[in-house]
Chain A
Amino acid sequence: MSIEVRHITKTFNQHQALRDVSLAVPNGELVALLGPSGCGKTTLLRIIAGLEEPDADDSARVLFDGQDVAERGVGQRRVGFVFQHYALFRHMNVFDNIAFGMRVKPWRQRPRRGQIRDKVTHLLELIQMADLGRRFPSQLSGGQRQRVALARALAVEPKVLLLDEPFGALDAKVRADLRSWLRRLHDELHMTSLFVTHDQEEALEVADRIVVMNDGQVEQVGTPDQVFHQPTNTFVADFLGKVNLFHARVEQGKLVAGALVMDAPASGAAEGQAAQVLVRPHDLLVARVADDTAALPAKVTRVISTSSVVRVDLVTTDGQTLQADLAHEAFAPLALSVGDAVFVGPRRSHVVVDDYVI
């Protein structure tokens, strides 16, 4: 089932959590709502679920498969919702937690006792907890609770799955496991899923599509590749990973940022216009001798070589800090150490002409 929201605004005590947000989630996709805390992503998720109402506005709409669901209460929308802290029913065991949604159905639609048992058993197997049905939530680990919460949501066969910071409260190892498990589960079930996260790595790894939000608005919607490599503004670029930022100006068809002179983008910014040149650390070239690309003088302040790439922190003569990630093979001949004078420049860059102010 596809989800669409149009012109949603939500105000809490004069604070605008969402400002005229419109968004479409195609059927069967796994979409991440990504943004810093307080950007309104959870509010948007809760509005889709029906747990919050948007501010009254004639143009505000929440549509499931093109149909307005404003009249449908939270229980009638057939969404599966996984809460940030799981919200498992603490006085029920795992089995009863998962069965709850089926047991509260109106008498006519309620599955028979045996059917409920079969379904719960099946779901327990799906979450790899077949033997733990009689445990109480307080007896489970964080990862197990998370999976029970997911099974409970799936038990009512929702059309849409909504997850609020599904891995936020777990440690790194469990989080990585659950992430790939969720991705596999989605590939099996093909249920339209929307999850909220503030972790860009999680969004990039799991989602088909990422919605980057900031301050109550959608900054960019795109595939992980698009938002990572072609951010539409510096906020998106900065939020999706470390980026080196050069403030440039268009002069005679070239982008000029201090000693760096680069080709202006094909789209062509007007003469004299300001632009931001974004360079990911792995695209920043470091050389001992200046050349056309590596033209900006800088000094090495730190070298960390204990990862799959060598991270080199630098500072320019104007005091701007930069980061370059070099492959070990590229680093070896340079043999950089702290204090060395070098030249840097972008091997590849992405230019945005925007009004975003840092």
Chain B
Amino acid sequence: MKRAGDPLWLRVLLIAVSTAFLGLFVLLPLIAVFAGALRDGLGVYLRALAEPEAWSAIKLTLLVAAIVVPANVFFGLAAAWTIARFRFVGRSLLTTLIDLPFAVSPVVSGLIYVLMFGLHGWFGPWLSAHNLKVIFAVPGVVLATLFVTFPFVARELIPLMEEQGSEEEEAALVLGAGGLRTFWSITLPNVRWALLYGVILCNARAMGEFGAVSVVSGHIRGRTNTLPLQVEILYNEYQFAAAFALASLLSLLALVTLVIKRLAERKVAREKRAGLSLEPSLEH
């Protein structure tokens, strides 16, 4: 939007500064990742991805996401439903708790689980007595990721569901629809884009999480290393081409996430607008 007061030189300066800043600190590193990955040729790149350890890291990352994202969709929907639809004691406390993983450093999130499930943790003796491993094993990685990514879905849904209210659901119930039917044909379609948006953010974080996972994983090569952890190991061992090759996968994921996020954002805005225009209007 053009404002009368801003002189041309100021506008040009501001645009130039922000473009240069973004280019220097965001775009250039992104290009560097792909350049570094392909520095020694496509053959090296593909071989780096096909390494058993790399391949295992990719599979583990996908596995973690495949467990964490559906779980958080479920918990997120449940939490959002509870908070948006009911008034109860402790409601604001619950709302605050949902934000906790955002407020806490990921390293601390990981340590919490070590404290609980580690060998000397609360449940450690019981777990080792039953020959179950959580810390330094896949379950720990899943738990830590679950914790860190919990807010994404719930946070997207709560404001939208609060704004939409429960009248449509009540209307469906009065018309004879059961609870499940109402959920599938009214509640879910009304929040589908916000849900998708939350899922995408949740997925991106689940695949990219470093801190919390690093604490609980134990860095066992080929077993408990996720992609970000594998990248760090390779980098520390001066295998730059391999490190960048894996990093490029994560960057690609980021780019795809951004595109879908952009689309979903637009749809969410439309959902909200549709909601607003359903408010009492005075025009005929």
Contact = CB atoms under 8 A, between A and B. Distances in A.
A and B associate? yes
A130 interface: no
B226 interface: no
B181 to A, nearest CB: 6
B31 interface: no
A235 interface: no
Contacts of A138: 273-274, 277-278
A79 B170 CA distance: 12
Most buried by A among B171, B185, B189, B190: B171
B91 to A, nearest CB: 13
B174 to A, nearest CB: 4
Given A89-B168, A90-B275, A49 B174 contact: yes
A75 B175 contact: yes
A105 B168 contact: no
B101 to A, nearest CB: 31
A170 to B, nearest CB: 7
A56 interface: no
Contacts of A87: 167-168, 170-171
B20 interface: no
B282 interface: yes
Interface in B157-186: 167-168, 170-178, 181, 185-186
A74 interface: yes
Given A137-B278, A138-B274, A91 B190 contact: yes
A76 B178 CA distance: 10
Contacts of B178: 75, 104
A208 to B, nearest CB: 24
The majority secondary structure among interface residues of chain B is helix
Contact of A86 (B173, B278, B282): B278
A51 B170 contact: yes
B177 A142 contact: no
A105 B176 CA distance: 7
A338 interface: no
B170 A169 contact: no
Nearest to B273: A138
Interface in A109-156: 136-138, 141-143, 145, 152-153, 156
Contact of B176 (A142, A143, A156): A156
Contacts of A50: 174
Given A83-B170, A137-B278, A101 B176 contact: yes
Given A138-B274, A168-B280, A170-B282, A89 B170 contact: no
B283 interface: yes
B237 interface: no
B279 interface: yes
A72 to B, nearest CB: 11
Contacts of A51: 170, 173-174
Given A49-B174, A104-B172, A90 B284 contact: no
A83 B167 contact: yes
A142 B282 contact: yes
B171 A75 contact: no
Contacts of B174: 49-51, 74-75, 79-81, 153
B18 interface: no
A36 B277 CA distance: 27
A85 B279 contact: yes
Contact of A174 (B172, B274, B284): B284
Given A85-B279, A90-B274, A90-B275, A142 B170 contact: no
A168 B282 CA distance: 10
Contacts of A246: none
Contacts of A174: 284
B278 A101 contact: no
Nearest to B192: A91
B158 to A, nearest CB: 19
Contacts of A86: 278
Contact of B284 (A75, A100, A143, A169): A143
14 contacts: A49-B174, A51-B174, A74-B174, A75-B176, A75-B178, A79-B174, A85-B167, A90-B168, A90-B190, A91-B189, A100-B175, A141-B284, A169-B282, A174-B284
Interface of B: 167-168, 170-178, 181, 185-186, 189-190, 273-275, 277-284
